[in-house]
Structure 1
Amino acid sequence: MTSFLLILHLLVTLALIGTVLIQRSEGGGLGIGSTQGMGSFMSGRGTANLLTRTTSVLAAIFMVLSLTLAVLNRGTAGVGRDILAQPPAATTHAPVPVSKPVLPPKPTGPMVPTH
């Protein structure tokens, strides 16, 4: 399911990028969204409204998919789903045995205060 959502997320991202690039900016942009590029299909205002709505819908879908993917991968830190994580290095030597600490001998005589 995660793979399907990732592919869908990629397609929505590419569509969003394309939609933003098609829109006419103040400086002209690519200018594909003008009436000259669209023929007599829609007026300049209708094309702008359509592209604005399309951008809004694609942005909303992008955000929902991003949040869904984040929630699906929330608790998988130790499971190994990170493709960039390095596998742990294999140890070639045996572990060193832990010995008990050596304590100083306990005094056996009476304690004499030293002033």
Structure 2
Amino acid sequence: MITVLLVIHLLIAIAMVTLILLQRSEGGALGIGGGGGGGGFMTGRQAGNVLTKSTGILAAAFFTTSLVLAIIASHDRGDTTTILDDPSIPGATAPATPTEGSEPAAAPNAEPAPPAEPSAPVSQ
């Protein structure tokens, strides 16, 4: 099933690229369909509407097949553990809570201690 869906996905992608290249460019004459003057492959307002609607339909189909492929791939994997569940990875467990009588660690955003007095003799 994944293979069939993947082939459909690729065909949709190729068709979408082709339709996008056939559309008339607004100004840069980048499209195959003719950004310049004169008659082109697909001319007229109605042809533009057909290409635009077809591109939208193919985009929705591409989006749908992408989601379905992702969902199928996540179900086929079967492994639901994360790296946080693996005890062999250091630091993957929750940090230990301080016990009574131990000094609390300094907060990371605490102000630094004032600088110590210089140890070199100062001229007077």
Could you say which TM-score interval applies, normalised by the shorter chain?
A: 0.5 to 0.7
Q: How many residues of Structure 1 are paired with residues of Structure 2 in the alignment?
A: 76
Runs of 5+ consecutive residues of structure 1 not aligned to the other structure: 80-115
The one of the two structures with greater contact order (alpha-carbon pairs below 8 A, sep at least 6) is 1
What does residue 40 of structure 2 align with?
Answer: 37
TM-score by length of 1: 0.57
Is the Cα–Cα contact under 8 Å of residues 25 and 34 in structure 2 kept in the other structure? Answer: no
Alignment of 1:48-87 (within 5 A): 48-77=48-77
CA RMSD after TM alignment: 2.2
* Higher CA-based Rg: 1
Deviation beyond 4 Å, 4+ runs, structure 1: none
Describe the superposition over 1:43-72 as per-residue Cα deviations: whole angstroms up to 9, x where unpaired: 510011001000000000000000000011
The match for 1:6 is 6
TM-score (norm 2): 0.54
Matched-pair identity in %: 41
Aligned to 1:46: 46
Q: Give 1:37 deviation, angstroms.
A: 2.5
Residue 97 of structure 2 aligns with which residue?
A: none
Q: Distance in 1 between matches of 2:39 and 2:63?
A: 33
Per-residue CA deviations over 1:94-114 (Å, capped at 9, x if unaligned) read xxxxxxxxxxxxxxxxxxxxx
The answer (yes or no) to whether the contact 1:13–1:62 under 8 Å persists in 2 is yes
In structure 2, list runs of 5 or more residues that go unmatched: 80-124
